[in-house]
Structure 1
Amino acid sequence: MQEHRTFVLVANASRARLFQREEGTGVLSLIEEREHPESRAKNIDLVTDKPGRSFPSDPHTFHAGMEEPTIPKRHEAEVFARELADDLSRRHNEHTFDELVITAPPGFLGMLRGALGTHTNHVIDRVFLWVDKDYTLIDPRTIAERLAAAGLEERGQPVDVQPGRQGQEGPEGGKQAPAQGHKRVA
């Protein structure tokens, strides 16, 4: 029987670690670590120039003509989310994992969901557990314990753990509510 391979992505807007979870023991082995320092930079450092100016025919009025469409830090976080999604999609195409667990702070988790959803190979369907917590600075053993408490041991349907939202009591005392199509973890 072939081993069931579970990858665990632990990420935030500036750092990501990808682990493989050993079946049976739950031990996490580091596969890759990435940094995205642009997400930590100040907005002023990411912008090369001020927005353009427009001067109407009346010299007493002035307004900015070209506004930035997004905040630079958010743009960099979205770039990093797309990079991570592209890497996971490539690994999915290479059949390097069977299921995926993703843990990230709520805002970045949404960016990852959006970026994964754009891939036509359905890599997002391999996500078994979504956890909206930032575990990037936690050691692998503690991450494994928290994921086990959050429902990683359950098999069947994807699980969505979102402490702090309305719903049932979560594993760490917070509230949780499932995303569409995901079940609750009691």
Structure 2
Amino acid sequence: MQTTWIVSANAGRARIFSEADPSEPLEEIEDMVSSAARLRDADINTDEIGRTAAGSSRHGIGGNEAAGFAHNAKAGAPTKSYQPAQTPQEHEAEQFAKEISKYLMDAHQEGRFQQLVISASPQFLGALRSYLDSHIKPLIKLEVNKDYTHSNAQQLREQIREQLQAQRANRLQ
């Protein structure tokens, strides 16, 4: 019989359950917590957008003088309104998705599961999906864009069964 792993995740936590026999209770085999999930927002986002280097100097770029500002903009240097392409929270979620993906790849190589069900918060599901190895993606029999990390094993199993039944019904139509 094939072993199915059920991953229930969000940006801060991933619970991994194993189902070898549908008549037996799910077995929780891993509870991963993002190290950043334990940190306060201020601890993650320590760099504030503030004055640029040499901000009050007449000689350096980034100065308050009109010529310095124009030079600063032409050089592509960050201005006071600079916003990074990725927030610290998004970066931490990405790192956690990579960690989960590596764990799944290692477990698959060890032959610990043959099928996979992933249930994750909508934002995190996209991040996780992008880091899953090409050998893992074909093993996914269901993706659910809901966060069930706080559900117990029985509630999670019921939710997954409902989603699988809905998926089957949609295929028959």
Q: TM-score normalised to the size of structure 1?
A: 0.71
Residues 40 and 73 of structure 1 are in contact (CA less than 8 Å); yes or no, is this contact kept in structure 2? no
Indicate the residue corresponding to 2:52 in structure 1.
53
User: Pick from 118, 124, 133: which aligns with 1:102?
Assistant: 118
Indicate the residue corresponding to 1:142 in structure 2.
155
Moved more, 26-35 or 105-114: 26-35
Over the aligned positions, Cα root-mean-square deviation in angstroms equals: 2.9
Bigger radius of gyration, 1 or 2? 2
Residues 7 and 19 of structure 1 are in contact (CA less than 8 Å); yes or no, is this contact kept in structure 2? yes
Structure 1 residues 37-96: Cα deviation after superposition (integer angstroms, max 9, x where no partner) = 414644432133334715446625753397533100011011001100011011111111
Contiguous gaps of at least 5 residues in structure 1: 161-167, 169-182
User: Pick from 9, 12, 28: which aligns with 1:11?
Assistant: 9
Moved more, 12-21 or 59-68: 59-68
User: Pick from 95, 98, 101: which aligns with 1:85?
Assistant: 101
Q: Number of residues paired by the alignment? A: 155
Secondary structure of the equivalent of 2:2?
coil
> CA distance change for structure 1 residues 29 and 71 in 2, over 3 Å: closer, same or farther?
same
Contiguous gaps of at least 5 residues in structure 2: 56-61, 70-78
Aligned equivalents of 1:6, 1:58: Cα separation in 2: 61
> CA distance change for structure 1 residues 9 and 59 in 2, over 3 Å: closer, same or farther?
same
Q: Which has the higher strand share?
A: 1
Higher relative contact order at CA 8 Å, sep ≥6: structure 1 or structure 2?
Answer: 2
Q: Which has the higher helix share?
A: 2
Moved over 6 A (4+): none
Residues 101 and 128 of structure 1 are in contact (CA less than 8 Å); yes or no, is this contact kept in structure 2? yes
Q: TM-score normalised to the size of structure 2?
A: 0.76
Secondary structure of the equivalent of 2:97?
helix
How many angstroms does 1:101 deviate by?
0.4
> CA distance change for structure 1 residues 185 and 59 in 2, over 3 Å: closer, same or farther?
farther
